[in-house]
Amino acid sequence: MHIAIAGNIGAGKTTLTNLLAKHYKWSPHYESVTENPYLDDFYSSMERWSFNLQIYFLNSRFRQILEIIESGKNIIQDRTIYEDANIFAPNLHAMGLMTNRDF
């Protein structure tokens, strides 16, 4: 089984993940910020790096989902792929921090 927690930054996702993992004896899976090559750049120049950051997050979370499925373990995750595609990217676009690009 795979359960993922969604919420704003600082809402308590990691705390809830810890509590549920401990209670149900599941493996917790946390969002890694130390391995993200775009995070520091994003905070120094959001308009320049927002697209790169969102593509990184989508790719990273998709790989995490595949790993979770392949593991066969009961896992609780402190972030979802849906937040990136349906909340963060549209918000960055609406704020003018992520502009349309030619593909």
Domain boundaries, the chain: 2-94
pLDDT band at 50 (very low <50, low <70, confident <90, very high): very high
The catalytically annotated residue of 40, 78, 84, 102 is: 78
CB 27 within 8 A of CB 73: yes
| Whether pLDDT at 35 is above 80 | yes
41 catalytic per annotation? no
Of all residues in the chain, the percent with pLDDT exceeding 90 is 62
Instruction: Supply the mean pLDDT for the chain.
Output: 90
2-94, what's its fold? Rossmann fold (3.40.50)
| Residue 100, pLDDT score | 76
Q: Which residue has the higher pLDDT, 31 or 28?
A: 28
Backbone φ, ψ for residue 45 (5° rounding): -155, 80
